Structure 1
Amino acid sequence: MKKNNAFGIGPLFFAPLSEVVGRTLMYQVSIFFFFIFMLPSALSKNMATLVVARQIAGLAASAPICNVGGTVADIWAVEERGVPMAVFSFTLFMGPCLGPLFGGWIAEKAGWRWIYWVLFIFTGVCFAFTLFIPETLAPLLLRRKVEKLRKSTGDESYRTLEELERVPFFETLKISLLRPIVMLVAEPIVALFSFCGSPRNDFL
């Protein structure tokens, strides 16, 4: 199947947004849209519907790819991240290898639409799991803890460092969204790796 170009665009937005609104919300929203847009792919009657649905699904599916690294960094210390990141990277590289094998077998046995029906079922289960994923972003967890303290004690003097040094939300959002573009232009190593391309799964 043709590569999904939206798969490379999504990280420009999903990665910085996860630093603002939290990891869990981004997983839930992205997997939900990935799940929903598998349905028009499976039911499509023409190529235009299939292409549009796949582009939107690919855009949504890119969020976990770029945010899992952030989640790993949230949970493990620098000296302990090697194995978790290796396991995560292994799954990324195995996807493009195993995806066409499974997709081809399903298409041969049950027809090409069943590739999308299988993905629809699988992503539905994944979305259900995201409803139980705990948040890992430290500033957001600290903010929730402080809000709980203020509510339980009635003392409004509790503040996080983030609140004391508060930057307007839209300014924070602008900085977060522009950072990857600036790094792409200003950091040669980032540009070179981007040209090389990222692991993409034809099965998506």
Structure 2
Amino acid sequence: MNKDKANMEQKILEAAEKLFMEQGFASTTTAKIAKEAGCNQALVHYYYRTKELLFERIYKEKMQLMVNSITNINTSGSTFEEKVVGVINAHWDFLTKNPLIVWFALRENLNGSTALVNLFIKEIRPKAIDAFSKLEKDLNTEIEKGNISPITIYDLLLTIISLDIAHFVIQPFYQMIVGDGETSVKHILDNRKEEVIKTVLARLKK
């Protein structure tokens, strides 16, 4: 593939991601993607065939990036608490870099779209289960030793995910409160992340 073709393929991918995140799956068409990318509709179909395949590639890459970023912190030399903090930090960093994905997922679910759910069940959930199997073993070992309060890996991860996501859902309200100062909003979010860490670690204490 020559450089021009590679550049156009990437432009189409970026245009599709932007529209999916801003408008949702149902409202995004290949015609809109082509217009955003500055090409004709035939090229969108040439490179990616269908809107569904484009959506699948984009969302799968995002979710795999999140799973990889979280599981990469599970080093053998860390304490379990340090691993939990690492999971929170990695998930938070992912959301910071991809803030639109929270509202995108909420919009898709509220609109009754099955594309997101089907992709998650088919592609993401099995990989996530495999990725967190090591963390689950460490968790159960710590519980058996009496070092932490009993909790399942699912409850632990859901607690982390829900606490993290909540702050990115209400991030627009933070911006309303502090105005347009990005530094101020970042300061609020940094403080909220520390509160999430304290809350989760407090749940694990005996």
TM-score, length basis structure 2:
0.31
TM normalised by structure 1 equals 0.31
